[in-house]
Structure 1
């Protein structure tokens, strides 16, 4: 589900940036998406006009490079267990955006998400608010500002509480959020819990946060989870802790 709590914060900080007279960085950002996992993944991007239509296959050890214009705001996630035919029609075990290879809609939870707003000062984060399906990280390259690495390089699937676990053939393939499983206000930060004072970390979000300290574990996890950088390119890595050798291709050519 979309995360509205970032939007107002980003708008406010962008407004303050404009008031300060910070010069806008108009150059496109280079995004390199890397698959260091031991399995094929199918990255998805929305909106995906600048990203091969919003979805593609990435084999282990491969990476792909795209340019994103300043002003782009969207999310990137990985899908697993997919089976697409020659027309790009099919299904995925996790992260599915429907029945198509190229995504025009958000992925079905649970899925690890990288979120971006590109402007004079970029905002970016990795969110587990919708659950977890793959380790992923966002690394800014040659930027100015905070520019910290965001993400979750740990694999939460082996330690996922059984009540949150999604299994296929007896194996945990993803970990749902407590909000998704229990649909209670205290887990979803809504109703009387719809503000950062009342909505506090829960037993389940603490499990996510302990494993992934620079990723969103619940809706109001802003202080340690959202980052800024200007004039930077980005490397989005899946399963980066495996340190697998990577081949890069541009325009579908190695």
Structure 2
């Protein structure tokens, strides 16, 4: 009997230890009907590349500290996330829309957002596992029809399309060009300081899912 109780106690301690050791996970999922080259970078660290087939996914383990600062997940339009020989230099981040995270942020919360400040190229969603936190998404069905002046449509050698937000990073605030993006995706950043309607929070310790073609 005593031996049985000892085994149960050891098992319970092991479970508790595992629970405390577990951290946060950001799962990147490809719901598109085609393969996606997913890129993930925190700050100026090396860029991780995940080649996801249709329906594929990749978990990014943030460790027990749940720390992922100035992080972004996006789809490469060239099929290569980092410049050859420079693993922390992006090839085409400036042509992509981003799922952005600051984990943790402040006040016990994470910050997350979708940004079209650079461009738009693919439908994107962020879904917190915590049901009390808001899921956000941005999908533009007809990118050719959407991308009107002052914005610029680029067709990449891969065949991918990118609508470049020409005023997104110039510090001018709302313009006719950025309002095209804001009207299409009210929850997403359309210019650099579009914080009031575009930044969302969730308690630190939450898992997240980033979805292409939600």
Q: Do Structure 1 and Structure 2 share a fold, with TM-score over 0.5? A: yes
CA distance in 2, matches of 1:121, 1:211: 28
* Aligned counterpart in structure 2 of residue 97 of structure 1, from 82, 87, 101: 82
The structure whose residues are more often strand, as a share, is 2
CA contact (8 A) 2:154 2:161 kept: yes
1:141 corresponds to 2:125: no
| TM-score normalised by length of structure 1 | 0.63
CA 1:112–1:67: 2 relative to 1, 3 Å: same
Shift of 1:136: 0.7
Structure ID, larger Rg: 2
Alignment of 1:93-242 (within 5 A): 96-99=81-84, 103-106=87-90, 107-119=92-104, 120-142=108-130, 147-155=133-141, 157-158=143-144, 159-161=146-148, 163-168=151-156, 173-179=161-167, 188-189=170-171, 193=172, 199=173, 201-230=174-203, 231-240=205-214
| Structure 2 residue runs without a partner (length 5+) | 1-19
Matched with 2:67 is 71
Shift of 1:151: 3.1
CA 1:37–1:127: 2 relative to 1, 3 Å: same
CA 1:156–1:228: 2 relative to 1, 3 Å: farther
CA 1:80–1:59: 2 relative to 1, 3 Å: farther
Stretch of structure 1 that moved more, 154-163 or 32-41 = 154-163
CA distance in 2, matches of 1:140, 1:57: 23
Give the paired residue count: 183
Shift of 1:68: 1.2
CA contact (8 A) 1:143 1:233 kept: no
Q: Following TM superposition, where does structure 1 have runs of at least 4 consecutive aligned residues deviating by more than 3 angstroms?
A: none
| TM-score normalised by length of structure 2 | 0.74
Shift of 1:168: 4.2
| Structure 1 residue runs without a partner (length 5+) | 1-24, 83-91, 181-186, 194-198, 241-254
CA contact (8 A) 2:121 2:160 kept: no
CA contact (8 A) 1:39 1:60 kept: yes
SS in 1 for 2:180: helix
